[in-house]
Amino acid sequence: MILLIFAIQIITVGCQKPPIQRAIGLMNQGRWEEAVDLLRPEIESNPADPDLNEVYGTALLRNGQPSLAVWPLRRSYLAEGDRSDSGAMLAEALVTGGASQEGLDLVTELIQAEPDNIYLLSLRARAYSAILDYEEALADTERLIELSPQNPRFLEQRINVLIDLDRTAEASDAVAALRDYLEGDEGDFATNTKARFCGAEARFMSKYGEQDEAQAMFEACLVKYPAEADLLMPMVEMLIESGQAERASEVIEEQASSKLGQPRLRLQVLWALDLESHGEMERAEQVLRGAAERMDAPQPWLELADYYLRVDDMAATADALGHAIRLQLAGEDEENFDYGLIPQEGLFQYADILIQTGDFDRVRRLMKSIEEPTFVLLLQARLKLVEGDARGALADYEEAFRSWSSNAGARYLAAEAALQIGEFDVAMNHYMDSLRADADASDSGLILARLQVYQRLPRAAYDTLYYYLRNVTDKERARDILHMLSQLSLELGSLPSIEYVRDEMLKMDDPSSRGMAVADYAHGLNALQGAEAALAYLESVESLDAPENAQALLFWSRLTRAQGDAESSRDRIEAALRGAPESVELKITLGEFYLDSPETEEQGGALLLEAAEAAPDLPRAQGSLANYLSRTAETEALVNALDASARLDPTDPVYGFDAAKTLLDAGQKEEAIVRLGEHAEKFPWYGDTATQLARVDLEEGEFGSRTLMRARLGSEFGFEDPSFSWEVLGRVRMARGEMSEAELALIEAVRFGPMRPEPHYYLGTVFEERDRTDRARLAYERALEMGEFDEAGLARQRLDALGPAPENLNEEEVTQ
């Protein structure tokens, strides 16, 4: 028995190959990771063994782990003896594993022994490019071409390096050489490759300014290779750069609508984008839809979906995506769709769009195929949000943020959910985190800053906007931010900040921003250093009379008039307008100047009306007109002007609110309520709208949780009339029987508006309810002292019912 065991052991030992050999066997089968796993313990025991290191390192390298392979391969290479075999491996590991300089040094050494080794030369060229030494990369590439002249990869590599070196003429010649080579070929190269190089030469020529020759060359290439996107796109680029946008559009349309072009999606997409760039949205849609219907494949429908996404039509996006998916899944009926075949990211995006279109059933079906937990959480959250479960939505969002804290869009929605349940601090944190995640993704920075302003925290708002400005890339948004910063700087009384904003706005491309910079700075100087300083600055502005400085000119005229020289102010504006009679901006300035004086108010109004009609899309025109109309009883005209302003500046909530409020004040309650509801949907954080909706609820006898949330939002972020916002909250609390909270709210209402009778009156009723008769009496008396108000009669009645105050009443004790 013992002999048998020994025999078995001997046989086993004799058959057991050393680990290196077994590893090599695995590597020969491409089982790299297994080889690595096998050799790892060996390396730990024998780290100095050069052969072991070489095999182990090679396994790591071929397993896609060059940054690990570097170490054992280096050890092997540096060991004593001839280790040149591992040199090439090490060089590859160094170059691909992130140590380019070291790789370069080694491969240079190896090339000395093997100067014609194509593999080493390729590696070195790559290493030289990695360290930006393009001259040397070129030298190696040219050597590679000498050694392997038929290899188009090296020819193309040479072109790229020449471009990196900015040796465009030589790159162009290289392109021509490659083109000739490809055209001489009888079949190995795809037509689009040949087309690409046909056009590349023309493109280079255009870079030398030889536009006519370049264009002719492109046209000739197009004849040879019609409807090839790789040729057409650089041609279009060249035409646009040389100011021939119209010709570019013609060429695109010719090629894309040709028989050959119609089945080519890239051309259709190029055509549609070109049409979009000219504002021809309907035609763009027709092109893409035509392509989608014609080609009957998923990708064209996805392109159409992308178009609908760009124009913010979620329903159509969902429809197009649905088509794409149905085609992808090859005709199965929807109930039996295996959505699991669609990539998770695509499913997630599709589901997200479907939520926005209200197709919740389909979303729920889709979600069964989504495995990624974070996607599921985000979709669940969004569903809950639209279905009214804001608290549940917020919980799901916050769980999702553990894995995906930088999802700016989800953070934005989480903020909305938080607002809906009155978690205002949480909401503001999420807006801030949305901004941190991606400043360009939304207007979360502007919203947050506004909320901070509404909370009377101008410093915090300034810091938010400053951060936003430093991180946003959208120039339009930057302009809005700067304008808000300008106003806040004024409020903070910070001249350096005002100067900073001015300097930033003066750098902007559009004249209106530069004009605003001058005007805002002058306002700042006036506030902080007085009229003289502001006037001195304005008078130093070279082109103050130019249309772009119309607002600054207005401010100059107001300052000058205030100093008693109304005539000069008027004369200067009129002269400026005579010099630029077509300028709507200057017309507005004159109109506003006239408005400042009762004698010329009507004249001013007429000018502003004229300006608004002449330039309906100029925000200042509509804003100024609205300002004038607010003094008149022309409700409809005012609302129209405000609607126009809201259309022109959709991110600013003020116009929409003012329009609704105007209707409410004019007794057009029904329409006002509808508008307020729509406004609240669009701007769920806007306190003043929330206050008005809460007030309307109260009038209708509603005071449930929704009304309470509205009132709370109003008190937190209301800006127009904080006293009124707190009063509404107080009244909601009263209606709900929450007297303690009502008292606190009404005390705030009094604090913000001590001269308003209504908060005193309502506070009186709360005190009465809480049997604090003496305080109630005082509150009613104070209310009545301030004059007549709607509830004055009730206040008198209640005061009478309370009877006279005790003789020795100490008012101070009562109000403590």
Partner 1 sequence: MTVIVRSQMWVILCLCGVALLSMGCEDEFVDKRPEGTLQDITSLAEREDLNILFVVIDTLRSDRLSSYGYERETSPVLDYLAGTGVRFANHRAQSSWTKASMASLWTGLYPVRTDVLRHKDALTEEAYTPAEILGDAGYLTAGIWRNGWVAPNFGFSQGFDIYLSPALNQAPAKLRTEARAGRIEGTDVDLAFSATEFIRTHSDQRWFLYLHFMDVHQYISTEETAIFGSTYSDAYDNSILWTDRQLGNILRELYELGLEDRTLIVVVSDHGEAFGENGAEGHGRDVHAEVVLTPFIISFPFKLDPAGVVQAQTENVDVWPTVLDMLGLASSNEGAVDGTSQVPLLTVGQVAPMQDTGFAQLDRNWGRIEEESRMVIAVRDGPLRLVHDPTAPESDLLYNVELDPLEQTNIAEIDPENLEKLKHIAEEHLARKPVWEGGAPQVEIDEMHLKQLRAIGYSIEE
Q: Is 616 in the site for partner 1 (CB under 8 A)?
A: no
The structure tokens listed for 673 are 């309520």
Choose one: 247-255, 276-284, 371-379, 786-794; the region binding partner 1 (CB under 8 A). Answer: 371-379
Interface pick for partner 1 out of 114, 253, 313, 398 (rule CB under 8 A): 398
The only residue of 266, 436, 558, 770 in contact with partner 1, by rule CB under 8 A: 436
Residue among 412 and 686 whose Cβ is closer to partner 1: 412
Q: What is the DSSP string of 538-601?
A: HHH-TTTTSGGGHHHHHHHHHHHHHTT-HHHHHHHHHHHHHHSTT-HHHHHHHHHHHHTSGGGH
Among 241-249, 459-467, 734-742, 759-767, which window interacts with partner 1 (CB under 8 A)?
459-467
Nearer to partner 1, 71 or 537 (CB): 71
Cβ proximity to partner 1, 90 vs 659, nearer residue: 90
Structure tokens at 551: 């607002």
| Range 175-178, long-range pairs (CB < 8 A, 24+ positions) | 175/200, 175/201, 175/204, 176/201, 178/152
Q: What is the DSSP string of 267-287?
A: HHHHHHHHHHHTT-HHHHHHH
Q: Which is nearer to partner 1, 249 or 407 (CB)?
A: 407
From the list 23-31, 33-41, 257-265, 512-520, the region that binds partner 1 by CB under 8 A is: 33-41
* Binding letters toward partner 1, positions 267-306, x by CB under 8 A: ----------------------------------------
How far, CA to CA in Å, does 653 sit from each of 422, 536, 659, 669, 679?
20, 36, 10, 20, 8
Q: Residue 340 in contact with residue 352, Cβ under 8 Å? A: no
From 234-242, 369-377, 536-544, 736-744, span contacting partner 1 (CB under 8 A): 369-377
Please tell me the count of residues contacting partner 1 according to CB under 8 A: 57
Closest to partner 1 by CB, 62 vs 756, is 62
Which one of 116-124, 214-222, 280-288, 397-405 is the stretch in contact with partner 1 (CB under 8 A)? 397-405
Binding mask 675-694 for partner 1 (x = CB under 8 A): --------------------
| CB 47 to partner 1: min, Å | 5
Give the nearer residue to partner 1 in terms of CB position, either 438 or 769: 438
Q: Residues 276, 359, 433, 652: which binds partner 1 (CB under 8 A)?
A: 433
Cα 768 from Cα 790, distance rounded (Å): 19
Given 22, 33, 247, 309, the residue binding partner 1 (CB under 8 A): 33
Binders in 34-93 for partner 1, by CB under 8 A: 36, 40, 43-44, 47-48, 53, 60, 63-68, 70-72, 74-75
CB of 253 to partner 1, least distance (A): 34
233 vs 376 by CB, closer to partner 1: 376
CA 454 to chain CA mean position, Å: 24
Spatial neighbors of 173 by CB under 8 A, at least 6 apart, are none
Residue 704 in the binding site for partner 1 (CB under 8 A): no
Joined together, the tokens standing for residue 579 give: 């010099």
Phi, psi for residue 456 in degrees, rounded to 5: 65, 45
Q: Which two tokens stand for residue 719?
A: 């800006």
Residue 344 binds partner 1 (CB under 8 A): yes
Measured between alpha carbons, how far is residue 807 from residues 464, 522, 774, 804, 810 in Å?
A: 56, 59, 12, 9, 9
Nearest-approach distance from CB 734 to partner 1, in angstroms:
36
For the beta carbon of residue 395, count every other beta carbon within 10 angstroms. 17
| Buried b or exposed e, range 486-511, using 16+ CB within 10 angstroms | bbbbbeeebbebbebbbebbeebeee
Cα separation of 67 and 63, whole Å?
11
> Which residues ranging from 464 to 523 are in contact with partner 1 (CB under 8 A)?
467, 470-471, 496
At residue 369, what are phi and psi to the nearest 5 degrees? Answer: -95, 0
Nearer to partner 1, 277 or 403 (CB): 403
3-state helix, strand, coil in the chain (%, to 5): 75, 0, 25
Q: Which of residues 91-120 bind partner 1 (CB under 8 A)?
A: 94, 96-102
What residue type is 487 in one-letter code? Q
Q: How far is the CB of 18 from partner 1 (least distance, A)?
A: 19
Q: Does 22 bind partner 1 (CB under 8 A)?
A: no
- Provide the minimum distance between the beta carbon of 298 and partner 1 in the complex, in angstroms, as a whole number: 22
What x-and-dash track marks residues 121-140 binding partner 1 by CB under 8 A? ----------xx--------
Q: In terms of CB distance, is 468 or 780 closer to partner 1?
A: 468
Task: Please state the closest distance from residue 400 (CB atom) to partner 1, in A.
Answer: 8
Query: How many whole angstroms separate alpha carbon 209 and alpha carbon 627?
Result: 53
Three-point CA angle 388, 393, 396, nearest 5°? 160
| Minimum gap (Å) between residue 795 Cβ and partner 1 | 47
CB 752 within 8 A of CB 728: no
| Residue 137 vs 519, nearer CB to partner 1 | 137
Q: Which is nearer to partner 1, 73 or 698 (CB)?
A: 73
* Number of Cβ atoms within 10 Å of the Cβ of 250: 12
Shortest Å distance, C-beta 426 to partner 1: 9
At closest approach, how far in Å is the CB of 40 from partner 1? 7
Q: Smallest gap, in angstroms, from Cβ of residue 448 to partner 1?
A: 12
Quote the least distance from Cβ 130 to partner 1, whole Å. 9
User: Site for partner 1 (CB under 8 A): which residue of 142, 170, 280, 399?
Assistant: 399
Residues 413, 426: Cα–Cα separation, whole Å: 12
CA dihedral 71, 74, 80, 84 (to 10 degrees): 140
374 binds partner 1 (CB under 8 A): yes
Q: How many CB atoms lie within 10 A of CB 789?
A: 16
- Report helix, strand or coil for 402: coil
DSSP letter at 473 equals: -
Which chain residues interact with partner 1 by CB under 8 A?
A: 33, 36, 40, 43-44, 47-48, 53, 60, 63-68, 70-72, 74-75, 94, 96-102, 131-132, 344-345, 372-375, 397-407, 429, 432-433, 436, 459, 463, 467, 470-471, 496
